[in-house]
Each structure stands twice: as C-alpha cells, then as structure tokens.
C-alpha cells in the first residue's frame, strides 16, 4: 500500500528498493531489541497495562523517533513525504509493541 509512495519519496527505483534476506533479518533483530527496550521503559515508568504501553510508545515515538527522522531527513534533503511515511511506520511499530507488552506482560 505505501511501498510505491515510499519508494518515490526515497528516490528509489523498484529494483533499488529490493532488499536481501539478511537486511530483513537485521531489521527483525533491531526491532526485537527495540521491543525489549520499550518494555523496560514501560516497566519502570508506570503500571504495565496496554494503555500505559501505548502512551509510552507514543511519547518515545514523538520525542525521539520523529525528531531523529526530521533532523536526518532535513540534512539529507529528503522530501517531507518520506519523513511522514517513515514516522507513520515507526508509530505503528511502537504502538503494537507497547500494547503487546502491556497485554502479555506478567503481573
């Protein structure tokens, strides 16, 4: 759904946007580590609930992820469309991780 708009915003052709299996494996490992760090933040800040997981995720997203994307993309002269698409992706990732931890965490 967003592959075409993302590819255009990133200035990549279809073939340039293809990734190798080891890149997907690296992304999975990084997102797993991200989930553990988010779980630690949620655990240390409030009661572990899906609501608090989502609130923590959104705050981390807004304060760190979005700011980092804006800074990096402005220096790279990337279009704002790429920033918005990437920020939306990371919001989804963090909200899912936060909600899942809040739901499945042992009480």
Containing structural domain, residue 66? 47-107
Q: What is the pLDDT of residue 107?
A: 67
CA–CA dist 3, 85 (Å, integer): 10
Residue 105 clears pLDDT 90, i.e. is over it: no
Residue 100 clears pLDDT 90, i.e. is over it: yes
Look up the pTM and report it.
Answer: 0.87
Q: Is residue 18 part of a domain?
A: no
CA–CA dist 65, 35 (Å, integer): 14
- If one counts the domains in the chain, the total is 1
Per-residue pLDDT, averaged over 72-86, amounts to: 95
Q: What is the pLDDT of residue 22?
A: 93
The pLDDT confidence band at residue 9, using thresholds 50, 70 and 90, is very high
Q: What is the pLDDT of residue 1?
A: 74
Q: Is residue 107 part of a domain?
A: yes
Averaged confidence pLDDT in the chain: 93
Q: How far apart are the first and last CA of the chain?
A: 38
Q: Is 77 left (phi over 0), alpha (psi -120 to 50) or beta?
A: left
Per-residue pLDDT, averaged over 43-48, amounts to: 86
Q: Is residue 6 part of a domain?
A: no
């Amino acid at each position: 759904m967003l592959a075409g708009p993302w590819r255009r915003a990133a200035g990549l052709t279809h073939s340039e946007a293809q990734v190798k299996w080891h890149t997907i494996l690296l992304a999975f490992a990084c997102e797993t580590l991200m989930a553990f760090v988010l779980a630690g933040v949620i655990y240390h800040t409030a009661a572990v609930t899906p609501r608090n997981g989502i609130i923590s995720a959104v705050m981390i997203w807004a304060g760190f992820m979005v700011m980092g994307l804006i800074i990096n993309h402005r220096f790279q002269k990337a279009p704002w469309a790429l920033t918005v698409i990437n920020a939306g992706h990371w919001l989804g990732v963090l909200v899912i991780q936060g909600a899942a931890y809040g739901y499945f965490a042992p009480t």
